[in-house]
Amino acid sequence: MSRDESADGQPHVPWALRKGVSTAITLGALVAAAVVVLAVWLTRGGEPAPAYPSGLQAVTPVPGAQVPHQSPIGARLEPGWKLTLVINGTTVPASELDAGTIQLGEHFFSPGDGKVIEKLRTGRSCARLVATPTIDIEAADFTYEWCFTTF
């Protein structure tokens, strides 16, 4: 018996050259590559950042968020803007916006006892802000609306 023969006298064929092995390895590699591509595609970042109009930096809560019914609602604007905030159809008086942060462009309303809105209703709530320029009178007012869920 030579080195190139098996015990039964048949010629010895390396396992990688046996019929179907290379096809199975190739198909397995293709399936693994497809799984990797699919995983990367499914996890490539989260939700895209909302497109805010010029002058608006962020809103709270973010659109589509789920928040407690006493959560603050508002926006952070670039300097030089005045805000009017409407929550579920109720206009929030400027005197009820949280003091101390307005100079930084942060305009928030926190529901509470004795305020125009004591607590947000459970379920879908929507807010609308109208921003008016206070410095650059050439800039146009803008409106931004968003909704969130309260519990």
Q: What are phi and psi of 75, to 5 degrees?
A: -150, 160
Mean pLDDT across the stretch 129-150?
92
pLDDT at residue 103 in the model:
77
Tokens describing residue 71: 């959560």
What's the length of the chain?
151
Which helix (H) or strand (E) segment holds residue 132: the answer is strand 123-133
Is pLDDT larger for residue 123 or for residue 30? 123
Q: What is the pLDDT of residues 16-72, one digit of tens each?
A: 666 777 777 777 777 877 777 776 666 666 555 568 998 999 999 999 999 998 999
Looking at domain 56-150, which of 1.10.40.30, 2.60.40.1220, 3.40.1440.10, 3.40.50.450 is its CATH number? 2.60.40.1220
Place of tokens 């928030």: 108
Q: How far apart are CA 75 and CA 58, in angstroms?
A: 6
Q: What is the pLDDT of residues 94-116, one digit of tens each?
A: 999 986 677 788 999 999 999 99
pTM, two decimal places: 0.65
